[in-house]
Amino acid sequence: MLANPHRITINTPIIFRDKLPAKVDIVIIGGGVIGVFTALYLARMGKRVLICEKGRIAAEQSSRNWGWIRQQGRDVAELPIMMQSLKLWHQVNNQTGGQCGVCTVGVNYLATTEAELQKLEQWLSVAKQHGLDSRKLSGKDVADLFSGQSNRQWIGGVCTPSDSRAEPWIAVPSVARLAHRSGAYIRENCAVRALDTAAGKLAGVVTEDGRVACEQVVLAAGAWSSVFARNHGIDIPQLVVRATVAQTCKLPAFATGNSADEQLAIRRRADGGYTVALADRHDFFPGKDAFRHFLTYLPLLKLSWKQIRVHFNAPPGFPDSWFTPRSWTADQVSPFEKTRVVEPQPNMKYVNLMISRFMTRFPKVDKPTMLNCWAGMIDTMPDVVPVLDRAPVLDGLVIATGMSGHGFGIGPGYGRIIARMLSGRQIEHDLSRFRFNRFTDSSPLVLGYSL
């Protein structure tokens, strides 16, 4: 049975407050889905590993996402990792007694135009190469998905029945408890201020609570990774966008799968409501990093500019705010202590638009009451795939960031890869697509397949 879920904020009680060890093998900066799964697999390999989380485990995007665990629509380089991740999610769900809320419901992408349908169907060739159960949907198939409760004229779509969902408010904290039982140290409300280096190699980290010696560090700080890295002279072309999400009251189970068309996405929740989000709206608050990386992002902007609403008033505490420091010393209070958990205000215009679009698509269902709405900061890269690589300028540092809104579902697979990388074991996947220097080695920018 699932625990009673509540959204994670800075007011969520601290669960993990292990004594800061003097020395470990590996320190992980960031207690999101990537960091937690990395710690789980490292601990099971017998490594002494410490997660330092500036606020609360999974308090930022790892608990603010849609809850989809999807293979469908993945970049071709990510797909094998995602297929493995799906299996790993089911494994840890069983190991936590079902507390992650993982269940197989399928993912459905729907189209209202021939152009959109052709775009969706192009991905089926990728699915076929990897033996996925993805298939086309006819207009009648789509109508059947919603138990006769919709009169929306979708002309078809694509579905992957083996795709799943989980409950973000409880999934990653449940995995963190599993990692803790496996021997990982976890300390919330403990920001890493800086790396401690000697002769070009890592010697440890300096946290707000003291120094920890280690030989390797994983930077998995989500939207804050580029801020941390820049203080050490490492330039990650990472930006963030704000995404607004809402939770409806309990409604009939007219749709059990995860579904999205060009404008609206819905997911049935374990509490009987639906998670609802706009598929064509994100808010962007340009700061110093946005202007520095403008040319690198230009190909992506040309493709997605219609979905972006630009605001020139980023509140203090946002990663790319004009007020966020870009340099500090290890004995100074860092930006991560000043903003333990970034809590963006949801865009209420978007929430009202969600309600309107929901009612248009499902007129036979009662008008939904929104019980809760929130926003999260999605960290993205210019080609919409992450960086997963050793830092070329500092021996011992692994960078795992820029998940581009795809991190929750693929987190277990990336965590397993990072754990194997750090422990010197063979990597089972081709990681060349995710190399750190792909933006500076004169190779062409290849945009990921993103829906």
Residue pLDDT, tens place only, 325-377: 999 999 999 999 999 999 999 999 999 999 999 999 999 998 999 999 999 99
Question: If you write DSSP's letter for every residue of 81-143 in order, what string do you get?
Answer: HHHHHHHHHHHHHHHTTTTT--EE--EEEEESSHHHHHHHHHTHHHHHHTT---EEEEHHHHH
88 neighbors 413 (Cβ within 8 angstroms): yes
Q: CA angle, corner 182, sides to 178 and 186, nearest 5?
A: 75
- Complete domains list, the chain, with CATH: 26-439 (3.50.50.60)
Q: Is the pLDDT of residue 100 over 60?
A: yes
152 pLDDT higher than 80? no
**pTM of the model as a whole:** 0.96
CB 32 within 8 A of CB 61: yes
On the question of pLDDT at 148 being above 90, the answer is no
Q: What is the pLDDT of residues 176-185, one digit of tens each?
A: 999 999 999 9
| Residue among 374, 320, 336 nearest 55 (CA) | 336
Other CB atoms within a 10 A radius of the CB of residue 295 amount to 9
pLDDT in tens, 249-298: 999 999 999 999 999 999 999 999 999 999 999 999 999 999 999 999 99
pLDDT band at residue 64 under the 50/70/90 scheme: very high
* Percent of the chain whose pLDDT exceeds 90: 90
**Cβ of 370: how many Cβ atoms within 10 Å?**
18
Q: In 160-314, where does DSSP find H-type helix?
A: 168-181, 225-230, 288-292, 294-304
pLDDT tens digits, residue range 156-193? 999 999 999 999 999 999 999 999 999 999 999 999 99
Contact, 394 vs 197, CB < 8 A? yes
Give burial (CB, 10 Å; 0-12/13-18/19+) of 310.
exposed
What's the whole-number mean pLDDT along residues 14-20? 97
Residue with the larger pLDDT of the pair 392 and 31: 31
